[in-house]
Amino acid sequence: MKTVLSFSGVSKSFPSADGTVTAVASIDLTLEAGTTAALLGPSGSGKTTLLSLAAGLDDPTEGQVCFRDASWATMDEDARARQRLEQVGFVFQSFQLLNTLNALENVLVPLELLGRDDATARAEELLDRVGLAHRLHHYPSQLSGGEQQRVAIARAFANDPAILFADEPTGNLDHGNAGRIVDLLFAMNRERGTTLLLVTHDRDLAARCRQTLQMKGGRLV
């Protein structure tokens, strides 16, 4: 299997009033293409920091993060953005939809950035896939939390990403909606062979992943 993401000796520290705070320390990690991995750990254990390093949103203080054999460190901000546009999908705990755009336009964003001619048809197909064909022109404020997260999932899969990062994707949803969202995520992962890295507190959700990574005090345990 091909490696999609690798961490070699990665640490991340922040300056603070009380000195330096180490958010993650000495992380070595490899994710194979098509796998599903859950990142578990209590609040403050460094999960979100690790996710931001994995997606090239932040730089490590030490070590190297490679995405598809290329180090994020060798890319400038626009090159990283291009890489994310073509290879990465995101699902956030608070959905992070653009509120001035309706559901269809939110899904269109990555497709239009890629310059795809079939952008609208593709966006409509994805929204249909997540069960929102009847909500294409609704704005985020007119959608329920579960519906917003489904739009976010449709957007995340719009560019057929090599890897999808999901940060607490069910954290803001009730039990019923959470189940439906997780089913959808795993179904689309199977259909498209996307690698999935999930940050979660939910052990049941983690159990559905092939790999479970436990973090504590900034380290993988």
For position 21 contacting other proteins by CB under 8 A, the verdict is no
Cα–Cα distance measured from residue 110 to residue 18, given in angstroms and rounded to the nearest whole number: 41
At 143, which helix (H) or strand (E)? none
Among 10, 12, 63, 84, indicate the residue that binds other proteins (CB under 8 A).
84
What is the nearest approach in angstroms of other proteins to the Cβ of residue 197?
A: 13
Q: Are the C-beta atoms of residues 112 and 162 closer than 8 Å to each other?
A: no
Within positions 163 to 192, which residues make up the interface with other proteins, using CB under 8 A?
Answer: 167
Cα–Cα distance measured from residue 114 to residue 33, given in angstroms and rounded to the nearest whole number: 23
Residue of 161, 40, 169, 187 lying closest to 96 (CA atoms):
169
For position 83 contacting other proteins by CB under 8 A, the verdict is yes
- Which residue's CB is nearer to other proteins, number 18 or number 78? 78
Number of alpha carbons in the 13 Å side-chain half-sphere of residue 215: 29
Among 22, 30, 62, 86, indicate the residue that binds other proteins (CB under 8 A).
86
**DSSP-assigned letter for residue 174:** -
For position 18 contacting other proteins by CB under 8 A, the verdict is no
Within positions 122 to 141, which residues make up the interface with other proteins, using CB under 8 A?
Answer: 139-141
Tell me the two tokens of residue 214.
Answer: 């436990």
- Which residue's CB is nearer to other proteins, number 200 or number 207? 200
For position 57 contacting other proteins by CB under 8 A, the verdict is yes
- Which residue's CB is nearer to other proteins, number 79 or number 221? 79
Q: Facing residues of 199 across strands?
A: 39, 167
For position 78 contacting other proteins by CB under 8 A, the verdict is yes
Residue of 78, 73, 48, 75 lying closest to 63 (CA atoms):
73
Q: Are the C-beta atoms of residues 153 and 165 closer than 8 Å to each other?
A: no
For position 112 contacting other proteins by CB under 8 A, the verdict is yes
For position 90 contacting other proteins by CB under 8 A, the verdict is yes
For position 160 contacting other proteins by CB under 8 A, the verdict is no
What is the nearest approach in angstroms of other proteins to the Cβ of residue 78?
A: 5
Q: Are the C-beta atoms of residues 37 and 207 closer than 8 Å to each other?
A: no
Q: Which chain residues interact with other proteins by CB under 8 A?
A: 48, 51-52, 55, 57-58, 77-78, 81-86, 88, 90, 92, 94, 96-101, 105, 109-110, 112-113, 139-141, 155, 159, 167
